[in-house]
Structures are given as C-alpha cells and as structure tokens.
Amino acid sequence: MLNKSSIISVIGLGYVGLPTALVIANRGYTVIGVDTNDKVVNQINSGKVPLFEPDLDLILKNTIKSYKFSVSLVPQPSDVFIISVPTPFKKNKVPDLKYLRKAVQNIAPVISKNNLIILESTSPVGTTEKVRDWLARLRLDLNMPGTSEEPDIYIAHSPERVLPGKVFKELIENDRVIGGITPECTGKAISFYNSFVSGECHATSAKTAELIKLSENAFRDNNIAFANEISMICESLNVDVWEVIELANMHPRVDILNPGPGVGGHCIAVDPWFIVDSAPHLTPLIQSARKVNSNKCKTIIKKIRKKIRRENIQNIGFLGLSYKANIDDLRESPSLQIAETVSNKFDGKVFVCEPNIKQLPEGLKKNRNTALVSLKKCVDGSDLLVLLTDHKEFLDVPFEKLKGKKVIDTRGVWRFKG
C-alpha cells in the first residue's frame, strides 16, 4: 500500500511534469523530480522556474523549503514512477517515442517489486503495452502485468489533460481517465491518484485511455478547424465571423470555438496525427482539420503581405508570439510562424510585443529590422498592427491608439474598436 512515506519519482520536468511533482509533494509525499537536462535541474535546484505557468515560481520556492521535493539527473529507487516526457512526431508526422524509450531505459535499473509505473505522456494507442514490453526486456527478473499470472509490478496510463495557464487548478480538479494493463494495475493507479486529485478517477483499459486523450484533442482541433473554415468563408463574403459564431452559439445545441491564426502548442497540433498514424485510411476528417488549421496560418500571411503592398506599410507591429494567451510557450506557434515569415521578407521595421518573453527567438532575432518592444512602442510605432495572440495586456488598448492605423486582428478581440 502507498502511504505518505512513499517516494514518488516524476520523470520529465516540463510543463506538466514539474507542476505534477509539486502538487504531489504538497500532498505530503516525498517527491524526486528527474530530468536529463542539467540546465533544468540546476535551475530548479536554485529555486528558479524553467518555464512560465501562473503561480509556478511561488509554489516551487515554497515546496523546496518543505524538503519534500528534490531534483536529480538520474532516477532513484521509488514506489511510484510517473513518466511525463515529450512524445513529439517525426518530420513525416509519425510518432517519435525516443524520449519515452530513453526514460524507460533510465528507470529500468532502479525499478523493484510492487512499483507502480504510470505513463502520463500523451501516447499513441498501444504505447503503455510497449512500455511494458521494453521493461520486460530490460528486467528479465521481474514478472510483467498482462503476460504473467503473478506480476511483480503495476503499469498504467493516466493521460495528462491539463490546460497550460490553468495547470495547478486542473491537475487537482479535473477528472482523470486511468487505464491499467490489467484491472489490478488500474486499481492501484486509481488509489494513488485519489490521494491528491479531487476530480473523479474513471477506470478503463490502457488502450482506451490512450485513445480517449487523443480523441479529446482531435475533437478540439476539428471544432477549431470548423471555426477557421467559417472565418475564411465569412472573409470572402464580407460577413463578420465573430457575429456569426456568437449568434449561432445561442442555439442550444451549437458550440463553435473561436477562429484564430491557426492551432499551435505541443498537443492539439500534434496528437491528431497519432490517430492518423494508427488508422491512416479511416481518418479523412481528422486529417482535413489539420490541413484547414495549417492553411489558416498561411492565409493570414497572405493577407498581411497583401496589406503591406496595397497600403505601402513601412512599420509593422506584431502583438503576441506564444501559441495562446497569457503563457510563454512558443512551440508550434502559428503567431510565431506568421511573425517570422513576414519579417523575413519585409524591408521596413518590425516591432514585436510579447510580454511573456525576455528575448526574441532565433528566427526573429537574426533579422536586423526586428525588435522586441513594449506594447506602447509597438502600437505607437507601427502603421500596421497585427494582433496574433490575445494576451490580457492587449485587450485594453484604447480605441484612440488604434485610430488611423491599419489593423489585422486574428483573434477578434478589438472588433468593437474599429
């Protein structure tokens, strides 16, 4: 049985792993955070956050003081191992499990009888069983669940489902889907999560849990693709897309999401491809949604270029680079892609305002005409303002400041100001 003297290791201290480790440590467990990146380990050890998430800095400082949380480059013997490493795709959109495989190789030598191993990384269907098979080959002395009558360890999948920006709240309050390789594995994992999650823990199989997580993100991608397609139709018909969606959503059974510059981040832009990889011929809708959302980004680039040509634009201001509001995450960000692509071939000045970063990413930094500036400088200095990410700082730009400027508002946040 697990109790508060149990040791929990969290493998991978990224956007989900680090907050998860802190939440569990604050519930009284002794937690070891493990990451192969020494920069991340050193930063956390000195109380500095390696990424932005509301409240993370304060919670990290307080948790370090409690002596319930330590960080290490190599895994140590523990009662529970939570694997929370990236599962990206390769260039050809095929899932890349190299970080997961490495994590399994790293924990294999320190695993012992009765350990619970939980895969939290979003994974293609069948991955939890793969983890079991990798471990079986590395630890011939241990009986594995699902292949032995008397298994020595427990293995389960409990996909993370937290929204960046609201991670601490959702880690505790969201329901969880928990699928073990066997019902015993599921039960063991549920009793662990019940000790720190207030949401309900739903029991299922490992494969089903994998597909549930992928389906959630593919569903959201489809809904956003629908909104983006409607937005392009509206543009061609000269109709206000925001009004269309707002009023359509007043229907009791319609709930269209918001159009934008495309879909970014390391989840929704990636995970649908894991389903496509498992069933290429059965996924025309999922594949189309991906195409529509990628095309939306290209459409915005064309729109900006047309405006530059037609209106003789000398200075452009881009507002927001991160993939969504109020975070610093630039991964797969359509906002960044748009700002980079346009500024690469623009002769005038490019002002970028991104309140959540301290320096421009390489792709923009290399352009001598491009500078990271304050909101005031960006707005005052530009003849064309392109709102790419709807950060809170941008919502209250006074109407007078926008007067006389050309504006492309990809998120519809200034629609009442024009």
**Rounded to the nearest whole angstrom, what is the least distance from the CB of residue 417 to ligand SAJ in the complex?**
20
H helices present in 150-203, as ranges? 167-173, 183-193
Checking 145-148 for CB contacts under 8 A at 24+ apart, the result is 145/180, 145/181, 145/182, 145/184, 145/185, 146/181, 146/182
Q: What is the CA radius of gyration of the chain?
A: 23
Q: In this structure, are strands 315-319 and 201-205 parallel, antiparallel, or unpaired?
A: unpaired
**Looking at 32, 209, 267, 379, which residue binds ligand SAJ (CB under 6 A)?**
267
Size of the site for ligand SAJ (CB under 6 A): 20
Per the CB < 8 A criterion, the answer to whether 201 and 190 are in contact is yes
Per CB under 6 A, 84 contacts ligand SAJ = no
Helix ranges (DSSP H) in 322-372: 334-344, 362-365
Rule CB under 6 A: say whether 166 interacts with ligand SAJ.
Answer: no
Residue 215 interacting with ligand SAJ (CB under 6 A) = no
Q: Give backbone dihedrals phi and psi of 370, rounded to 5 degrees, phi first.
A: -115, 130
Output 111 or 206, the one with its CB closest to ligand SAJ.
206
Q: Which stretch binds ligand SAJ (CB under 6 A): 56-64, 132-140, 258-266, 308-316?
A: 258-266
- The Cα 188–Cα 273 span in angstroms is 31
Q: Tell me how far apart the alpha carbons of residues 52 and 65 are, in angstroms, rounded to a whole number.
A: 20
User: Tokens at residue 373, please?
Assistant: 């500036």
- Minimum CB separation of residue 355 from ligand SAJ in Å reads 16
Stretch that binds ligand SAJ, among 50-58, 159-167, 284-292, 371-379 (CB under 6 A): 159-167
What does the alpha-carbon distance between residue 37 and residue 107 come to, in Å, rounded to a whole number? 16
Is there binding between residue 17 and ligand SAJ (CB under 6 A)?
A: no
- Note whether 292 binds ligand SAJ by CB under 6 A: no
The yes or no reply on residue 244 touching ligand SAJ (CB under 6 A) is no
For ligand SAJ, give the closer residue by CB, 64 or 330: 330
3-state secondary structure of 403: coil
Residue 320 contacts ligand SAJ per CB under 6 A: no
213 is catalytic: yes
C-beta of 242: minimal distance to ligand SAJ in Å? 12
Among 68, 185, 188, 267, the active-site one is 267
Q: Does residue 267 carry a catalytic annotation?
A: yes
CB of 322 to ligand SAJ, least distance (A): 9
Q: Is 151 in the site for ligand SAJ (CB under 6 A)?
A: no
**E strands, 84-175, in order:** 116-119, 154-157
Cβ distance to ligand SAJ smaller for residue 142 or 212: 212
Cβ pair 228, 267 in contact under 8 A? no
Q: Is 312 left (phi over 0), alpha (psi -120 to 50) or beta?
A: left
* Interaction between residue 20 and ligand SAJ (CB under 6 A): no
Which of 68, 185, 188, 213 is flagged as catalytic?
Answer: 213
- Judged by the rule CB under 6 A, the positions of this chain that interact with ligand SAJ are 122, 160-164, 216-217, 220, 224, 257-258, 260, 263-265, 267-268, 323-324
Residues that are catalytic: 213, 267
